[in-house]
Homo-oligomer: A and B are copies of this chain.
Amino acid sequence: MNRQITLASRPVGYPKESDFNVVEVPIPKPEDGQVLVKTIYLSVDPYMRGRINAAKSYAANVEIDEVMVGGGIAQVVESRHPNFRIGDIVNASIGWQEYGATAGDGLRKIDPTIAPISTGAGILGMPGLTAYFGLLEIGQLQELETVFVSGAAGAVGSVVGQIAKIKGCRVVGSAGTDEKVDYVVDELGFDAAFNYKKVSDYHTELQKLLPDGIDVYFDNVGGQITDAVFPNLRIKGRVVICGQISQYNLEKPETGPRFLWHMITKRARIEGFLVSEYADRHAKALVEMAEWLQQGKLKYHETIEEGGIESAPAAFISMLKGGNIGKQLVRIADID
């Protein structure tokens, strides 16, 4: 049998475990051109919070009783596609379930000799690519610039800061625990970081840590930290809107200070993006990222929930509340 997590009800505020159901269905049969995969690591990501709202986001939302959207690292257990053999490791978007039949065309194979396969859902997967294209393409980061990244210890932010260091920039981050602050400074090489739960005046903190201002702000969180960035932007500063996780679980939408006039005085730019826009360049970027990883220029951490598919909702909720350092995964099965 195949266990799935379906959406039981639309969350108001933070999701609760009762917003999800565990359902058992038969394991599907792959059709011609498909492969049957079993999930090894399920990925839970902030974007999924937007997909369980009633309001349409950039992609179709999950309906009640539908399988939760997502995917992760999976292994081929049956193949009806010429490019895949039993045992292959792939990055598959089959939703939150133990088994799934999915088209082989477009399925990305993971090379287990480069790095642990879990990295295919993290630093060598969607979060890593999000950091890469957000910082370098949307942020147009140049050598010797200054970078501030919020959500610095997360799956994306931790890579953003490290790529900025590779590019010779000064990097400051914000995160929600002292442990995370120590991690990004001591382990990842950020120049400085602060615990936003212990600092009340973000504006002054940014002035202190980035006295010459911010060239590129990589925003994973939104809200009051982001408010404090605009007065601290440098001329021609860029604000990369990757996520707004502080806003996703509010029961009532927040208001905040108006800041668009800063965009004039700073001749600055704010831009949002989706990593899927760069799909034709993902493979090349992953080669570069894998090199950095092998050279020790990129490091990563994973927070792995070991409770199987039924623990996915708890892992998802924990991640939304900042319980993870680096990539949050759920281990579903062992590799055969």
Give A residues with C-beta under 8 Å from B.
50, 57-58, 219, 222-223, 226, 241-244, 247-248, 253-258, 260-274, 277
Contact = CB atoms under 8 A, between A and B. Distances in A.
21 contacts: A50-B265, A57-B265, A58-B264, A58-B267, A219-B260, A222-B258, A222-B260, A243-B264, A244-B258, A244-B260, A247-B261, A254-B258, A255-B257, A256-B258, A262-B272, A267-B272, A267-B274, A269-B269, A269-B271, A269-B272, A270-B270
Contacts of A274: 264, 267
5 cross-chain pairs, A with B, having the tightest CB-CB distances, nearest first: A263-B272, A264-B272, A270-B270, A255-B255, A58-B265
A270 B273 contact: no
A58 B237 CA distance: 14
A81 B332 CA distance: 81
Contacts of A271: 263, 267-270
B270 A260 contact: yes
B241 A263 contact: yes
A258 B247 CA distance: 9
B255 A258 contact: yes
Contacts of A272: 260, 262-269
A225 to B, nearest CB: 12
A243 B261 CA distance: 7
A248 B271 CA distance: 25
Question: How many protomers of this protein does the assembly include?
Answer: 2
Nearest to A273: B267
Contacts of A244: 258, 260-261, 264
Given A258-B222, A258-B254, A264 B247 contact: no
B261 A222 contact: yes
A168 to B, nearest CB: 26
Contacts of A222: 258, 260-261
Contacts of A270: 260, 263, 269-271
A139 to B, nearest CB: 12
A252 to B, nearest CB: 11
A248 B258 CA distance: 12
A277 B57 CA distance: 36
A256 B261 CA distance: 13
Nearest to A236: B277
Contacts of A50: 265
Contacts of A253: 257-258
A113 B102 CA distance: 71
A273 B219 CA distance: 22
Q: Count chain B CB atoms within 10 A of each CB in A50, A57, A253, A261 and give the residue with the most.
A: A261
Q: Count chain B CB atoms within 10 A of each CB in A58, A247, A264, A277 and give the residue with the most.
A: A264
A63 to B, nearest CB: 19
A65 B256 CA distance: 36
